[in-house]
Amino acid sequence: MPKWIARPFARPYVAGETSDEALVQVKTINDRGFAATIDILGEHVTNIDKARSITNQYCDLYHKIDAQQLDCNISIKPTHVGLLISPAEAMTNISTILKQAMNYNNFLRLDMESSLYTDQTFEIFKYCKSIYKNVGVVIQSYLHRSLEDVKQLAVVDFNARICKGIYQEREFIAFQNNEEIKKNFLVLAKALASKGAYAGYATHDHNLIDQLLAYIESENIPPDKLEFQVLYGVPMDGRLEELRDLGYKIRVYVPFGPDWFDYSVRRLKENPDILGYVIKNMFKSE
Ligand SMILES: Cc1cc2nc3c(=O)[nH]c(=O)nc-3n(C[C@H](O)[C@H](O)[C@H](O)COP(=O)(O)OP(=O)(O)OC[C@H]3O[C@@H](n4cnc5c(N)ncnc54)[C@H](O)[C@@H]3O)c2cc1C
C-alpha cells in the first residue's frame, strides 16, 4: 500500500510525525480537561543504535512535557527499546527512561505486547518498581492468565491499565469471545479494586463502560483510584465529556512518530477488524 493512500486512514489516529506536533495535540487534549499519555510509534527494533535513539527521544519527551507543563505521562513498548536485542539491553534503556521520569516526577507505563513478551515485561516491571514507584503496567483481559497476574503483581501502589488486548492469540492463551473478554475485564477491575490498586480502564466499548460505571457506583470505588483511557482519534460520541463531568479522570493515548505507516500496516495485518473501525469512524464525527 503506498503511503499516500494509507496516510488519510492513519491520520485521525496518529498525532503527527514529530514530538512537537504531538505535544500540540496533547495541549489541546489537556485544554478539554483530559490527561494524556504519549507513545512513539514503533516496536520490534533489532538495531541497537535505533533502540538507544528511541530511548533518548523518550528522555527528551519528559523534558518537553515538563517545560510545557502538560498533564501527560509516557507509555513505551519494551520491544521498541531493545527487548528483541536482549533483555539486558531493554532493561538498561528502560532504566534510563525511568530515571528521567524520576527527575521530572512523572510516570512511566509499560505497554503490553503479544503473549510472547508478557513474562519478560512483568519482570522488567518488577525491576522498575523496585527503583521507582511511579511505574505501571498493562493487564489484557483476553489472557487466561491475567487474574493470576493481578494476584501476583498487585502489591503496594500497583497501577495497571486494563484493556481487552489487541494481538491475535491462540485459544489456549486467550479468550476469543468478546463477551468472555468483557466479563474478564470486570473480574480484573474488581480484583484490582479489592487490592487497593489504581486502574486505568482502557476501552471504547460503551456497554463495557456502562458496566464499569455501575460497578464503581455500587461499590463506591473512589474516583481517585481509577481513570478511563481511550486512543487518540477514536470517536466517543460525547462520552468522555460526560465521564469528565461526573468527576472521572480521562486519559487519551497519543501515538506519534515517523514509523506510523509500518505500525498501521502491522496492526491491520494482526487485526483486520481495525480497518472496519477506521472506515466506520471516517463517517462519524465526535
Ligand atoms: C488507552 C489504550 C491503551 C491500550 N494499550 C494496549 C496495550 O498496551 N496492549 C494491548 O494489547 N492493547 C492495548 N490497547 C488496545 C485494546 O486492547 C483493544 O484492542 C482496543 O481498545 C479495542 O477494544 P475496545 O475495548 O475499545 O472494544 P472494541 O469492542 O474492540 O471496540 C469498541 C468500539 O471502539 C472503536 N474502536 C476500538 N478500537 C479502535 C481503533 N483502534 N481504531 C478505531 N476505532 C476503534 C470501534 O468503534 C469499536 O466498535 C489499548 C487501548 C486503549 C484504549
User: What local confidence, expressed as pLDDT, does residue 77 receive?
Assistant: 97
The ligand 1 atom nearest the CA atom of 273: 30
Q: Which helix H or strand E contains 92, and what residues bound it?
A: helix 87-103
The ligand 1 atom nearest the CA atom of 37: 1
The ligand 1 atom nearest the CA atom of 251: 1
Say if ligand 1 is within 6 A of residue 211 CB: no
Say if ligand 1 is within 6 A of residue 252 CB: no
What percentage of the chain reaches a pLDDT higher than 70? 95
Tens of pLDDT along 257-271?
998 887 777 767 767
Taking the centre of ligand 1 as the mean of its atom positions, its distance from the CA of residue 149, in whole angstroms, is: 21
The ligand 1 atom nearest the CA atom of 204: 26
* Residue among 39, 109, 111, 259 flagged as catalytic: 111
Q: Quick check: 6 pLDDT over 80?
A: no
Say if ligand 1 is within 6 A of residue 274 CB: yes
DSSP summary character for residue 68: T
Q: How many CB atoms lie within 10 A of CB 94?
A: 25
- First CA to last CA distance, the chain: 28
Say if ligand 1 is within 6 A of residue 35 CB: no
Give the residue, by CA position, lying nearest to ligand 1 atom 21: 203
Helices and strands (H and E) in the chain: how many: 11, 8
Q: Is 264 exposed, middle or buried (0-12, 13-18, 19+ CB in 10 A)?
A: buried
Q: Which domains does the chain have, with CATH numbers?
A: 3-245+258-280 (3.20.20.220)
User: What local confidence, expressed as pLDDT, does residue 61 receive?
Assistant: 98
Tens of pLDDT along 176-225?
999 999 999 999 999 999 999 999 999 999 999 999 999 999 999 999 99
Cβ neighbours for 101, distance < 8 A, ≥ 6 positions apart: 62, 73, 74, 107, 108, 132, 134, 135
Taking the centre of ligand 1 as the mean of its atom positions, its distance from the CA of residue 251, in whole angstroms, is: 14
Taking the centre of ligand 1 as the mean of its atom positions, its distance from the CA of residue 88, in whole angstroms, is: 30
Residue 283's pLDDT band (cuts 50, 70, 90): low
Average pLDDT, the chain: 93
Q: Quick check: 284 pLDDT over 60?
A: no
State the Cα–Cα distance between residues 189 and 173, nearest whole angstrom: 20
State the Cα–Cα distance between residues 18 and 25, nearest whole angstrom: 11
Mean pLDDT to the nearest integer, 234-242: 95
User: What local confidence, expressed as pLDDT, does residue 33 receive?
Assistant: 98
The DSSP secondary structure of 129-182, one letter per residue, reads HHH-SSEEEEEETTBTTHHHHHHHH--TT-EEEEE---S---TTTB--SHHHHH
Tens of pLDDT along 99-123?
999 999 999 999 999 999 999 999 9
User: What local confidence, expressed as pLDDT, does residue 263 receive?
Assistant: 72
What's the one-letter identity of residue 272?
A: P
What's the one-letter identity of residue 108?
A: L
Say if ligand 1 is within 6 A of residue 174 CB: no
Residue 228: all three cell numbers together: 478511563
| Collapsed DSSP state (helix, strand, coil) of residue 231 | strand
Say if ligand 1 is within 6 A of residue 261 CB: no
Q: Quick check: 286 pLDDT over 60?
A: no
**Residue 141 · residue 189 · CB < 8 Å:** no
